[in-house]
A = this chain, B = another copy of it.
Amino acid sequence: MLNKNIYTFIGFDSEYEDSQIVVFGAPFDGTTSFRPGTRFAPAVMRNESYGLETYSPYLDKDLTDIKVYDAGDLEFPFGNTKKVLDMIEEFAKSVLNDGKIPVMIGGEHLVTLPSVKAVYEKYKDIYVLHFDAHTDLREDYMGEKLSHATVIRRVWELLGDDRIYQFGIRSGEREEFEWAKRHTNLTKFTYKGLEDVVNKLKGKKVYVTIDLDILDPSVFPGTGTPEPGGILFNDMMNIIGILKNLDIVGADIVELSPHYDNSGVSTAVACKILRELVLAISKN
């Protein structure tokens, strides 16, 4: 009791030096167009993670068996998008330089860009698996190049064609769907074909970005732009069960917006997905 109050996500309580995975919060929602508030996600998830068990009956693995460090949240200046992205990139690089795997909790989806950049700098031959309701492929959004609605387009500018696999997509402009046919591998509505992709990418370095709004709003109402027609929670468990065969070198889950999560259920969903994702990434 007389040590200071240490505060981490449940089970992410190892020392930095010993850890294989470093979880950190990127509480940024500065380009959110519809309903802001994803900035509160990492802190709320830490709080509510104590409703979770450390053991996963899905993967039959326990957080107590692995080493994860929770670095807390980055502290951002408000209203300066550019500076925020730089801070994320820098932090992710330092984690990667120490030979660890960064797992980021957003914040809005734009935070994925600097995180992928940091990973890309280390591993040029990288693939991105993108789970989302939205294409996120606009050239710009109301004149802005850096936006949650353009983030995967920006990632594509970095990686080029045939590096990005998109699943669950059910909303976007017609032009984005057309563009995707030429530059990414986009699967509408579902995660059909994921197993084939994973087989193909075995042995490759992979970055996984999960926009939680891929889930149906019945399962996950607490997000900025709820899109009816999404996948269910057990689909996500299946997805992670498939992903565990990959060599994941960076990952994020984004777009939980706790103030739209009146019942607390979306936070519980996000916490369980994070537990499963971290267990799936960990090697032993």
Contact = CB atoms under 8 A, between A and B. Distances in A.
Nearest to A55: B174
Interface residues of A, number: 85
Contacts of A269: 217, 228
A260 B260 contact: no
Contacts of A177: 55, 57
Given A142-B78, A228-B269, A263-B222, A16 B2 contact: yes
A39 B70 CA distance: 25
Interface string A149-174: 00000000000000000000111111
A268 B80 contact: no
Given A6-B7, A268-B227, A263 B221 contact: yes
B237 A229 contact: yes
Contacts of A53: 171-173
A265 B217 contact: yes
A39 B47 CA distance: 13
A128 B78 CA distance: 26
A191 interface: no
A218 B219 CA distance: 5
A171 B53 CA distance: 7
Interface of A: 1-2, 4-8, 16, 24, 29-37, 39, 43, 46-47, 50-51, 53-55, 57-58, 62, 70-81, 83, 91, 110, 141-144, 146-147, 169-174, 177, 188-189, 216-219, 221-222, 225-229, 232-234, 237, 259-265, 268-269, 272
